[in-house]
Amino acid sequence: MATLEQTLEEILNLAAGYFKVPRAELSPDDDFFTKLGINSLQALELLTRLEGHFHIELPDYELQGVSDFRTLAERIQSRL
């Protein structure tokens, strides 16, 4: 199973690629709404892509209050 750091790295790569932000500009503790410049609809798009990428289901209520990549990775890690 992937480690938390590996999962985090995959999330950062996926987010950078999908939202066309240079990967080097993203850090684990960044607020992804601010850093990616996304709204709630785009957050749902990100959720859909993460579910597809990791082959998991992540109920959206688990994202309540989550805004940084590291916590997001922890939520995903708990579903792997």
Residues contributing to the site for other proteins (CB under 8 A): 33, 39-41, 43-45, 47-48, 51-52, 57, 59-61, 63-64, 67
Query: DSSP string of 34-76?
Result: HHHT--HHHHHHHHHHHHHHHT----GGGGTT--BHHHHHHHH
Estimate to the nearest angstrom the gap between the alpha carbon of 51 and the chain centroid.
10
CB of 46 to other proteins, least distance (A): 11
Q: Exposed, middle or buried: residue 80 (CB in 10 Å: 0-12, 13-18, 19+)?
A: exposed
Among residues 24 and 40, whose Cβ is nearest to other proteins? 40
Residue number, 45 or 74, with CB nearest to other proteins: 45
Least Å distance, CB 33 to other proteins, is: 5
In this complex, which beta carbon is closest to other proteins, that of residue 4 or of residue 33? 33
